[in-house]
Amino acid sequence: MELLKLHRRRSRLSDIAYIALNVGLALVILAVTLSTQTIWLPLLIILVSKWRVFAVRPRFWRQNILANSVDFIVGISHVVFLYAAAGLLAIQVLLTIGYIVWLLFIKPRSKRLYVTLQAGTALFLGITALSMVAYGYSEILFVLGMWVIGYVSARHVLIHYEFPVTAFFSLVWALVVAELGWFAYSWMFAYTMPNSGNLKLSQLALVVTLLGFVAERALASHHTHGKIRREDLVVPSVFALSLIALLVVFFSKLTAASGL
C-alpha cells in the first residue's frame, strides 16, 4: 500500500514537473523574443530543449531526430510567428497560449486522431512559416523545405498506421508537396489578417493541408477495409476541393495579397 502511494506521489510530481517545464519553455521563448527582438536566440532555445534527442549513442540520432521532427517544425514555426508579430503583445500572448496547448495537450497524445492532428499541424504551420521566411529568398531552399515538411508529416502518420513501405510512401508525399511548392513559388498568395503585423496566412499551406486531409482519409479507409472505398472519400474530397476552388478562384482575386 505504501509503495502504491509512493508511486502515485511520484507520478503526480512528474506530471507537475512536465507541465511546469513546458509552460516555462513557452514563456521563456516569449520573454526572449520580446527582450531581444531577434529570431535566432529563440530558435536556439528550441534546439537546446531537444537535448534528449542527442543524449544517446550517435547511431540512434537519426531515429530520434525523425521521431521529434513534427514537434521541431511546430516549435520553429511558433518562433517565426512570434517574430512576425513583433510589437503586437496580444497576438504574441495568444500564439504562446496556442504553443502551450500544443505542448501539453496535442503533442503527448498517441491516439490516431491526435497523431493525424499533429501531422496536419506541422504541415500547415510549417508551410506557412516557410512561406513567410523563404519566399523570395531562394527557390531551392523553399522547395527543399517543402520536401522536408511533406516527408516528416507523412511519415508521422504512416508509422502509426503501421503502413508497409512507410519510407517509400513518405517520399512520394514529400515529392508531391515539393512539386506543389515549386509550382506555387511563382504564384504565391498570402492572406493578410487584420491587426496581425507581418503575420500572413499562406494559401499554399491551406491547399496542401486540405490535400493531406484527403490522403489521410484514403489511408484510414485502406487501413479499416483493406482497400480504399469510394464512399469513404466522397465527402472529404468534395469538402477539400470545394475549399481549394474557393481559395484559388474567389479569394485570390478579392482578399489575397500577391507575394509574402
Return the C-alpha cell found at 59: 547511431
Main-chain dihedrals φ then ψ at residue 177, nearest 5 degrees: -65, -45
C-alpha to C-alpha distance for 172 and 239, rounded to whole angstroms: 23
* Average pLDDT over every residue of 237-242: 94
Q: Is 135 left (phi over 0), alpha (psi -120 to 50) or beta?
A: beta
Lowest mean pLDDT among 11-25, 83-97, 183-197: 183-197
pLDDT band at residue 223 under the 50/70/90 scheme: confident
pLDDT band at residue 260 under the 50/70/90 scheme: low
Query: From the CB of residue 141, how many other CB atoms can be counted at a distance below 10 Å?
Result: 13
- Global pTM reads 0.90
Residue 254's pLDDT is what? 46
Report whether 197 contacts 86 (CB < 8 A): yes
Residue 256's pLDDT is what? 42
* Average pLDDT over every residue of 140-153: 96
For residue range 96-134, list pLDDT tens digits in order: 999 999 999 999 998 999 999 999 999 999 999 999 988
Q: Which residues on adjacent β-strands are paired with residue 200?
A: 192
- How far is the CA of 194 from the CAs of 88, 119, 152, 198, in angstroms? 12, 28, 32, 10
Report whether 26 contacts 34 (CB < 8 A): no
For residue range 31-42, list pLDDT tens digits in order: 999 999 889 999
C-alpha to C-alpha distance for 73 and 79, rounded to whole angstroms: 10
C-alpha to C-alpha distance for 82 and 247, rounded to whole angstroms: 26
Query: From the CB of residue 99, how many other CB atoms can be counted at a distance below 10 Å?
Result: 24
For residue range 5-33, list pLDDT tens digits in order: 444 555 777 788 889 999 999 999 999 99
Report whether 131 contacts 145 (CB < 8 A): no
Residue 10's pLDDT is what? 59
